[in-house]
Amino acid sequence: MKNNNNDKMDKKEQQLQQFVRQNEGKIMTSNEGVKISNDEDSLKAGDRGPTLIEDFLFREKMAHFDRERIPERVVHARGYGAYGEFELYESLEELTMAKFLNDTAVKTPLFIRFSQVAGSKGVNETNRDVRGFATKFYTEEGNFDLVGNNIPVFFIQDSIKFPDLIHAVKPEPNNEIPQGQTAHDTFWDFIANNQESAHMAMWIMSDRTIPRSFRMMQGFGVHTFRFVNKHGKSHFVKFHIKPVLGLRSLIWDEAQKLGGADADYHRRDLWENIENGNYAEYELGIQVLEEADEFKFDFDILDSTKLWPEEDIPVRMIGKITLNRNVDNVFAETEQVALHPGNIVRGIDFTNDPLLQGRLFSYSDTQLYRVGTNHQELPINRPVCPFHNNQRDGASRYIIDKDRIAYHKNSLADNTPYTVPGSKGGFVTYPSLVDGRKVRETAESFEDHFSQARLFWNSMSPVEKDHIMQAFSFELGKVQNISVRQQVVNMLGHISTELATVVATALGVEVPKVPESQVKKSSPALSLFNTKHSPKTLKVGVILESGFNGRETNYLLEQWKKVGLQPVIVHDELGVVKGTDGIELKVDQSFLTGSPLLYDGLYVGVSPNANENFLWKTKSFLIDTYNHFKPIGASEAAAPILESIGILGKPGVLVDQNPQTFSKEFIDAMTIQRFWQRV
Ligand code: HDE
């Protein structure tokens, strides 16, 4: 929601307002300010003659249009963002001197861009893919970017392999197929031949990569960072972001079909909810480790293919993130935002994680190419604190530096802009000890690729395991090369014989005879089933025929809205649908414009006497909802329809015999969301 009151705007919003332009109601001019009298006809020699090159208005308009696009991001091309704020619960002074983590009175403005890794800018939003979760905190001491994903580990250990990974996952270069998917030969060939990916492969084949909403997904900083306090003491830290609504995912059949029903499913969900005041909320958490404990684990804390089990190192919640404002212009803000894990502030520092180290080069480099030399000056990117230095010029320089002196050290400007020591707020790198010979090698402590993959497998519920097995069978089933299929299945054999056997059988390849990991431990925090769920903002499709029970339906709708459910009225035509008791409801979607895929549950207020087409459509909506394990509610009159398709009395299928109890039971069913017992 937009603020019009300047006093209520946070610092970032106030800053952005200086650049916002409103064109409605204004005279049209060229970029040079010349008023335009005709924007429909180019200047021609005679009304049927050729266009004249003299037409400076045509030339300006067309040349600008010709350059409207900038290169899409080489990865994470499709994304969507929103503004918000971070509020700290309690001072973390004992851990870090970062001011935004010390002072609970400070609300820090922020911008988050969610994204998909593999697809290009126009890819379907429900494809199976890792989601980026990248936050720019506009702190009083400069920008801090937490450029994370919705999965806590990564494919590779050393960033030098990143171009290879991305070449393998992107569409195959000879035919540019498939778009934004991992279900193809080159991707799985990479995985099989770079077995450090085993752990990540398990995560991406889980339901984590088909989230229900950006508002219902976790974020992770992935790497180990450092916090440094004012006494110079350092701790290792991992960042977590947890959604207040709990974690929810789509199921595969739904995700695939949703690509057709609404290719903008995730951005629409975020944009609409923020517009409606249902702000997206998360908690920021940290796992903290004493420096002295660096070597206490059976994995290397610098290895980004490993997580820190939350049961061993608990996540401490340190503050709340709320996304409460949509952008004004997606290009100016979301497309031009330049996120970079190297953007850190005093009190936060890097570790030697070889994946992080390479990212520190790649992001600023890619922004210089993609957005330009002066990208940090753009409204979305500039910090909210003052910034001064001797960097000058470059393409599209915006700021006018009026000083004569642009060098350090100087005497003519009294040696300003001046530097400040660490004790006065200057950034000082944590003096960690580095020693060793220059080598191109991987540390031995990075060599165990299967223990945590097994830990993940052990932590899954039976339904999640089943989904993982199906996902591997689907993806590898799309792989044409039999040897690649076999190689991946062999790799899975090291993780779990059960998993490898099921997948091998589905693919018609050999069950590998390799020793499986002996890890018995599990981490309940990794299962999607172990988070608290809320019914808030879930959508209920409500199919109503003319003459529906007005009073009863109104009562149900009110009860549901009270807990935050969002009813969507569905009828065979748009307009209004009339019920008994003089009640009329606005139709939100027709059978044609709506889809059972778009609702988290379905209620039918339809009697078997409805016309044939209406009944047929109702049944097809019911069948899809049922097959996707989602809650179904029905008026008493509709019970025979449920019976006719064989779903009456099945788990999560409820009939309204008493509106008071039914409305509550339906809310509980919506909170549960999926009734896996149906199969
Ligand atoms: Fe990225 N990544 N990445 N990545 N990444 C980019 O930067 C890169 C990695 C992530 O919404 C690029 O601005 C390398 C891990 C997000 O604008 C590029 C390596 C994690 C985004 C790049 C990684 C991420 C990017 C492309 C291996 C999770 C989108 C465009 C070391 C912690 C940010 C751009 C946005 C984007 C490089 C691995 C997350 C090319 C070299 C690990 C969320 O710079």
Round the average pLDDT of the chain to a whole number and report it. Answer: 97
Catalytic residue among 127, 149, 326, 343, which? 149
- Please give the pLDDT value at position 679: 77
- Tell me the pLDDT tens digit for each residue of 56-92: 999 999 999 999 999 999 999 999 999 999 999 999 9
161 lines ligand 1 (CB under 6 A): no
pLDDT in tens, 615-641: 999 999 999 999 999 999 999 999 999
Q: Where are the beta strands (DSSP E) in 65-215?
A: 78-88, 107-116, 131-139, 142-149
pLDDT digits (tens, 9 = 90+) for 142-162: 999 999 999 999 999 999 999
Annotated catalytic residue 167: no
Which phi and psi (to 5°) does residue 158 adopt?
-125, 130
The letter for the amino acid at 80 is Y
pLDDT at 3: 59
Joined tokens for residue 280:
């997206």
* 305 CB neighbour count, 10 Å cutoff: 24
Predicted confidence band at 568 (pLDDT cuts at 50, 70, 90)? Answer: very high
Pick the CATH number of 459-529 from 1.20.1370.20, 2.170.150.20, 3.30.420.40, 1.10.357.10: 1.20.1370.20
Residue 99 has pLDDT above 70, yes or no: yes
Question: Is-same-fold flag (78-184+193-377; 535-678)?
Answer: no
Model confidence band, residue 7 (pLDDT cutoffs 50, 70, 90): confident
Q: Examine the residue annotation and report whether 64 is marked as an active-site residue of this protein.
A: no
pTM (whole model) above 0.80: yes
**Span 512-530, average pLDDT:** 97
Closest listed residue to residue 219, CA positions, set 199, 238, 200: 238
Q: Which two tokens stand for residue 511?
A: 């069950």
The fold for domain 78-184+193-377 equals Catalase HpII,  Chain A, domain 1 (2.40.180)
Continuous H helices in 414-495: 451-459, 462-477, 482-495
How far is ligand 1, taken at its centre, from the CA of residue 417, in Å? Answer: 33
Geometric angle at alpha carbon 157, from 153 and 158, rounded to 5°: 135
Q: Is the pLDDT of residue 2 over 90?
A: no
**Rg from Cα positions in the chain:** 28
> Is residue 570 helix, strand or coil?
strand
pLDDT band per the 50, 70, 90 thresholds, residue 8: confident
CATH code for the domain defined by 535-678: 3.40.50.880
Spacing, Cα 75 to ligand 1 middle (Å) = 7
Calculate the alpha carbon distances from 221 to 242, 251, 274, 649 in Å: 12, 26, 24, 45
Cα 596 vs. chain centroid, distance in angstroms? 23
Ligand 1 neighbourhood includes 381 CB (under 6 angstroms): no
CA of 83 to the centre of ligand 1 (A): 20
DSSP state of 333: I
Contact 118, 226 (CB under 8 A): no
Give the start-to-end residue ranges of the domains of the chain. 78-184+193-377, 459-529, 535-678
- What is the ipTM score, two decimals? 0.98
**Active-site residue, from 76, 184, 240, 628:** 76
For residue 227 the two structure tokens come to: 């916090």
Whether 5 has a pLDDT exceeding 80, the answer reads: no
- Best of 352, 359, 368, 375 to mutate for ligand 1, by most ligand atoms within 8 A of CB? 359
Ligand 1 atom closest to 115 (CA): 11
Atom of ligand 1 nearest to the CA of 362: 44
| Phi, psi values for residue 52, rounded to 5° | -90, 135
Buried b (16+ CB within 10 A) or exposed e, 244-260: bbbbbbbbbebbbbbbe
Q: How far apart are CA 523 and CA 250, in angstroms?
A: 22
Question: 114 CB under 6 A from ligand 1?
Answer: no
Q: Going by CA atoms, what residue is nearest to atom 18 of ligand 1?
A: 363
